[in-house]
Amino acid sequence: MKEKLSDDNKIFWTKQINDRSFEIAELILGGIIPILLIFIGTISNLLCIFCLLCRKHRRIRSTYIYLIFLFLADTFSLYQWNLNDIFMQFNNGTQLTNKSLFLCHSIAFLSFYTLHLSALFLTLVSIDRTLLLWSRYYRIHMTKRCHALIISLIVLIALFILDGFLLSLGIREKDTNEIQCYYSFNLNLMVFYQTVYPWIHFVVMYIIPFLIMIIGIILIIIKLYNHRLSTRFSHQKRRSCIMLIAMCIVYMILTLPNRLCFSIFYSRLLNHSYTDTILLGSNALLYTRNATNIIFLYLSSTTFRKQLTKFYCCLNCQRQHRIVPIQQIQY
């Protein structure tokens, strides 16, 4: 993730030529795994969205609105730095962001924007489920679709304001006509991007979600423990709460290495033979979470498993209907 300048304002993390063992590891971490994550994550997230939309009697619930936005953000985030890493691995270190100003601006902005959206919408899901368990007023008055859409719109706009300046990063050098992404002729903007924004990114991406999720997990566990013998506290509610706890824990575990590498130890990791391997590995862990939402829904929701089974059966039926006429013609 090419997200932080060095102290001399001229050095980004760029791919280096290393020993063969490191090159093989970097090919797997920066080329093969991102391709698999994009393919699997796109299909699985779209399936999750489709199944949630098919639950007509629950589409008004706020949790499902936040989950749909979460899955959309996760899907878009898979196509940002992953595509850049794939292009870099198979084009001798050339970055996709340096091919055109449009790609530079769009990837620079969407990479941060989609990750921030993913983090905050998962946080909103955590807040929503916690308040559903603890607050009767919230459960009655604040779970309507209109309220969830308004809150989601506020998050979208607020993060656009926060990350919008990234659309201005990227210059074309007059002498060489080369594109230098993540640069600007505005010195103040560069100082902000280099010194302030990495910490903003760290707070939005990890600190805020971490603190809220920890509090939410504790409150949910307390509620589950207090109602462990209650018949009113349905089995489905328990499974949904456990699913949320698992999603939050996995998010914190898979996101932490990336945040430590790029926000805390970035300067210390540069210019070593293992630099590319560690940074690409932290990226792979980060985006693995964006592609694994379907696992949590599948394990926690009987309805979701039935919907997937029905969807698979429909695909098989359509395939058989397309094959039969051809067989008859041949016969």
Residue 15: band (very low, low, confident or very high) from pLDDT cuts 50, 70, 90: low
CA quadruple 216, 219, 222, 226: dihedral positive or negative? negative
pLDDT: which is higher, 84 or 319? 84
Pair of tokens at residue 120:
């905050």
Pair of tokens at residue 216:
């939410």
Instruction: Examine the pLDDT at 51 and tell me if it is beyond 70.
Output: yes
Instruction: Examine the pLDDT at 156 and tell me if it is beyond 80.
Output: yes
pLDDT at 50: 86
Which class for 325: exposed (0-12), middle (13-18), buried (19 or more C-beta within 10 A)?
A: exposed
**Distance from CA of residue 72 to its chain's centroid?**
9
The mean pLDDT value of the chain amounts to 81
The pLDDT of 289-312, averaged and rounded, is 82
Residue with tokens 């939005």: 204
pLDDT: which is higher, 282 or 321? 282
Residue 202: band (very low, low, confident or very high) from pLDDT cuts 50, 70, 90: confident
Per residue in 93-149, pLDDT (tens digit) is 777 888 888 888 888 899 899 999 999 999 999 999 888 888 888 888 888 888 899
pLDDT: which is higher, 2 or 123? 123
Q: Which of 32-36, 174-178, 261-265, 276-280 has the highest mean pLDDT?
A: 32-36
How many CB atoms are located within 10 Å of the residue 138 CB?
17
Neighbouring-strand partners of residue 171: 180
How many CB atoms are located within 10 Å of the residue 145 CB?
13
SS3 (DSSP) at 171: strand
Q: Which residues of 248-283 are buried (b: 16+ CB within 10 A; e: fewer)?
A: bebbbebbebbbebbbeebeebbeeeebbbbbbbbb
The pLDDT of 143-158, averaged and rounded, is 91
How many CB atoms are located within 10 Å of the residue 312 CB?
10
SS3 (DSSP) at 180: strand
Q: Is the distance from CB of 248 to CB of 126 less than 8 angstroms? A: yes
Closest CA to 67 of 159, 156, 161, 152: 152
Instruction: Examine the pLDDT at 55 and tell me if it is beyond 60.
Output: yes
CA quadruple 245, 246, 249, 251: dihedral positive or negative? negative
Q: Is the distance from CB of 51 to CB of 307 less than 8 angstroms? A: yes
Closest CA to 42 of 309, 284, 294: 294
pLDDT at 327: 47
Q: Report DSSP state, residue 32.
A: I
Instruction: Examine the pLDDT at 3 and tell me if it is beyond 50.
Output: no
Neighbouring-strand partners of residue 179: 172
pLDDT at 86: 85
User: What's the rounded Cα separation, in Å, for the pair 172 and 214?
Assistant: 45
The pLDDT of 163-170, averaged and rounded, is 89
The pLDDT of 50-60, averaged and rounded, is 70
Instruction: Examine the pLDDT at 195 and tell me if it is beyond 80.
Output: yes
Per residue in 246-293, pLDDT (tens digit) is 888 888 888 888 888 877 777 777 777 777 788 888 888 889 989 988
Q: Please indicate, yes or no, whether the overall pTM of this predicted structure exceeds 0.85.
A: no
User: What's the rounded Cα separation, in Å, for the pair 179 and 168?
Assistant: 13
